[in-house]
Structure formats: C-alpha cells, structure tokens
Chains A and B, each alone.
Chain A
C-alpha cells in the first residue's frame, strides 16, 4: 500500500524538516491541527462547501474532440482546473490552508508567489475569510506579472518585493520563510506547492487531491474505464500530485512534465528531476538544481510557475521508485501547444499547463485509438497573453498573426 509520508515527514529518503529550530514548534502545531482537521467531518464539509459554492467545483472533464481527431491517436481529455475561481488549481489549496489557519486561530496569512497565481489565490481567500495577507514576490516577477500584482492589491493584500538572489520564486520563498520565522506566533505560512518542510508537502497534496478524485470519477463515468495515461506539469508539483495521487495504486501510466526551457543540455532549464541532484531546499530533502558545492543555481523557463530549482519531495520519491515517469518539454514546444489549444479547442491555457499539453499531444499521437490520455489543464492563460504576444510577435510574426 502507498503510505507516505511517515510520521517524520519522509517520502522514502525525501522530505523531512530541514528548518531553523525556531520553526520546529510552529510546524508541529500545524501538523497536529492538520491531522485533526483531516479526520474531522465538519472541516471536510466546510472545505467541500467552499470548493463548490465559491470556487465552482467540480471542474469539467472535457473531451478534446478536435485535437484527438488531428493527432489520430489516443482519445485526449482535459481536467479543467482552469475553470476554477481565480483561474487555476491554486485556489483548492488556498481554501484548505485558509480554513486550517482559521481553525488554528491565525488571521494573518503569508504567501510566496512566482507568476502570481498562488499570490492571487491567497489574497482571494484572505478577502473571503476576513484575513490579512502579505505576499512575497521577486522583483523580477513583479515586472513580468504586473497584472497579477494589481489583482493582489485589489484583493486587499500587501505585496512585498524581494530584491535578493535572482529576484524570482526561490528568493520570494526564502523571504516568506524569513518573515514567517519572525512572525510565527500569529501568522500562518500558506505555501503554494507541495514543497517545503513537513507537513506542507502532505498538506498541499491533501488539499489538491480533489483534482484527481474528481477526474477519476468523471473519467470512469465518461469512458467506462480508467485512463491509460495521466499527464501533468511539474514545477513544485502541486497540480501533478493532486492529479496523480488518486491514481497511484491503479494500472495507469503517470507522466510528470518539467520545463526544459531552452533545452536540458543548456544551463537554461528548470528540469529538476531530469537534471538535478539530491539535496535540501526550502526545508525539504529532494532533487534540486545546484552546483558541485551545494549552492543552488538559478533555473530558467518561459513559465514563471515552473521556474523553480527544487521539486516536491513526493515527486522525488515517485521518480526514485519508478511510479511516475518525468519528462521535459522546451519553451518552444510549450508555446506551440499553447497556440494549438487556443486554435483547435478554444481554450487558452496557462503556459505551465501548455507544457503538460505538449507532452500529452506527443504521447497521444503514438497511441492507438482505443487508448485514452488525461491531462491536467492546471490553469488558464489570461495571465500569459501579454507575454505570449510579445514572444510570438518576435519569434514568428507571420505564422501567428499573418492570416
């Protein structure tokens, strides 16, 4: 039976709690509260109620009729996390953690954000549940995601620019943790992915597994069987864990897709499992991108949401036991899938999700017509439209805008 993490927060050799002593007790308190909440029917009802009534769950399962025809291979389905309130799967976790914070009597939330999706989700639930919210965001990402910064402010959150390191997600996470160390007595740190010290990877999985739970039920109803392949993109890896978890003990092929950026043989990628080595980042033992002396290196991806030098410890574990296969997709392949989905199915996906789509298209093309592929379409692409416009104009103006 699949039963990780253990009581020490270990997924095999991965996970754990590598944090300053100051945070150990706050983590123990969260763990206790989480374990109690997870077996409390009233907490579950409150969580499910918010997902239904506020976020609009269950999200749809969509058959990709046109692309399936075009690929002439396996039948392709999307789990439509893009249809959530705030436009991505991030809200599932934000609702769960905010309810837990409330249960613990904490009214101030701390969040880190890269592209701004988790920051927006955190700011949203803070507004909804009457909490304060402070979001740390790298100065570079603030420039790249101006609109999301404004959204967060509109929702009443304070956005703190981070000037350390490369001024992106890794640095925002460092700064959020530092702020938490200082304010752990009355603040709740809401991590946006299945990363960080125990119990965060487990907690975020529990609040994201709704994706896979719903998808599994919907898929069986629609197709009368389980999918043959399930695909999701992996930065920290929360949509992927949420999608994969309910399928782990089924006879289903699971594929995680990392960002290959400009190619995994260049220094410009964020393919942590494919190219990383074992170590500790943000309180957890996992794979990460680092130099030979253990200094963490800067990842690169066109997608701010996948641009992270670590990966959730459960993914490291799933890779090590061979249960999930991790592959990677370049910026260029993701951009192509991004446009293809818009043109063929009328859905503009997040550039993160476009990585999963690109891999799913490749897989579906090679499979027979009686096979099925299910992709987690983790978010919508509104946030990326501006950047894509600039990018695609520069890359191939005539191909995109010409006719």
Chain B
C-alpha cells in the first residue's frame, strides 16, 4: 500500500449498511470525492470501541446477514465495480479468530484487500497477526491514543501503512470539539512514525479538518459519514431515489473534507 502521505482523507463505512450493494455505491462516491483509502468496517455484535452511531449501523448490517467473510468478499466486489483506492478491513478480533487467522489473511489477499485494522488487538497481543501480516504483505494498521504516552515510540516505530491516532478519550462518534492537547500529541507521534500519521474519532466538521490538517497527514471520518448514511438509508434503498441520495452524500462528504482538497466543486455543480 503506497500512500500519498499528505492531506489524506480516509472514510469509514460499515459493510452492508444499509445493504451490501449500497456499500459499493458509497465506496465509489467516496473515491470520486477524493478518498485516499477506504476503511471497510465489519459489523460486530459487541463493538467496544464504537459509539451509538456505529453500533446502530452494525446492528442494521448484521440484520442483513453480513459476516466477516462476506465483508471481505464485498471488498473484492468493490474492486470489480471500479474502486481502485486501498481498502482496509476494520474488524474486531473475535470474528477473525472464528474465521481462522490464516484464512482471514488468505481471503483478504484473494479479495485484494490492502490492509487490516483490529481495534481490540493492542500491540502486546498482536504478535501472531503481525507475523501473518508480514507473510502476506498486508499491513496491520496500528493505533495510538492520548493515553499511550511512553507506548507511542514502541507502537509508532513498528507501524505499517499509516498510523491511526485516536483524537481523544472515548469511543467513536461525532464530537463538537477536539482536545486542545491534540497538537502536542500529534507532534510526538510524528516524531517516531515513519508512515503517514492520520487522526480519527470524533471528526465531523470541516472546521476540525481545517485545524487538524496542519498537524497530521490525514483524517479518518467514520461516525459522521455513517450517520449520514443512516439519514439517507431509505432513499439509498429505493431505486428511484438512490442517485439523488448518493449525490447528497457526495456533497456532504466534499464539504466536510474540503480543507484537504482543492477544486472539489461537485456540490456547486449539483446546485447549478
């Protein structure tokens, strides 16, 4: 996975919410809107790191019958439908264990997945997964948090692909403000990291993106997009209203990440 390294936009979608076909459409829209990497979230019954928005989306996707192997295959289908940017599979550890660690990597490789992120697998427990990651060449994305402190060096120096900084204490969600100490935290992380440093958790406004972009190499936007998908979900599921809903989604995304991109004027075109 080769990344541009600056002003990256990394959106997160829950696989299968509100329907697997719609997830592919949304991924294509995100690519068109300038996404650099897509994080494809695998729905889980007990998502410990997630707030209510992603919990609800996960429940909807699980109702659709989404599973870890199906989510990986969905990434493969995204490729067939024209998604060219890297796709990261975001999954909790337990589904990986049930599929089997080796099968997980084999299936991911087969479906041209570009990396994996396991939010409840801290560095100390990750040895078997890092070994498989090295064998298959699929990077395991690491996370650092504001509480990491002296752990940052150890984690950052081994990071692959990009390094995901958790913006603040807490679970995923939309936040009005981000902590003031975030710049120092990001500066410290950048000091140790050899890969691009991106920030996620809570980012939901273009003002936040504007401020953050000076201090990191990109942003992850999850709950804000998932909430938008939730809002549009009925229209996304109806053939007659789908395109309109996808346009509205693109418009929302472009405004949100406008500070990262120049010349993104899709919304204005739509308005004209």
Contact = CB atoms under 8 A, between A and B. Distances in A.
Q: Do A and B actually bind? A: yes
Contact of B48 (A174, A184, A294): A174
Interface string A153-185: 000000000001100001000100110011111
27 contacts: A8-B124, A17-B124, A18-B122, A19-B48, A20-B143, A20-B145, A20-B166, A21-B123, A21-B143, A22-B148, A24-B145, A24-B147, A24-B151, A25-B149, A164-B52, A164-B55, A170-B46, A178-B51, A178-B170, A178-B171, A181-B171, A182-B171, A278-B97, A282-B46, A282-B48, A293-B69, A296-B46
Contacts of B144: 21
Q: Determine which residue in A165, A181, A278 has the highest number of CB atoms from chain B within 10 A of its CB, and name it.
A: A181
Q: Is the interface of A mostly helix, strand, loop or mixed?
A: mixed
Contacts of B97: 278-280, 294
A281 B145 contact: no
Contacts of A281: 46, 94
A22 B94 contact: no
Interface in A286-308: 290, 292-297
A19 B218 CA distance: 25
Nearest to B49: A20
Interface string B147-181: 11101000100000000001001110000000000
Nearest to A10: B125
A183 B169 CA distance: 7
A295 B71 CA distance: 14
A183 B171 CA distance: 11
Nearest to B146: A22
Contacts of A165: 45-46
B93 interface: yes
A283 interface: yes
B99 interface: yes
Nearest to B169: A182
Given A22-B145, A181-B169, A182-B170, A290 B122 contact: no
Interface string B49-64: 1011001000000100
B239 interface: no
B120 interface: yes
B98 interface: yes
Contacts, number: 117
Interface in A1-48: 8, 16-26
A231 to B, nearest CB: 31
B183 interface: no
Given A20-B119, A21-B147, A181-B48, 9 more contacts: A18-B125, A19-B48, A21-B123, A23-B147, A25-B149, A182-B170, A282-B46, A294-B99, A295-B62
B147 A279 contact: no
B94 A290 contact: yes
Contacts of A24: 122-124, 145, 147-148, 151
B15 to A, nearest CB: 13
B85 interface: no
B93 A18 contact: yes
Contacts of A21: 122-123, 143-145, 147-148, 151, 155, 166
Contacts of A282: 46, 48
Contacts of B124: 8, 17, 24
Nearest to B56: A164
B67 interface: yes
B249 interface: no
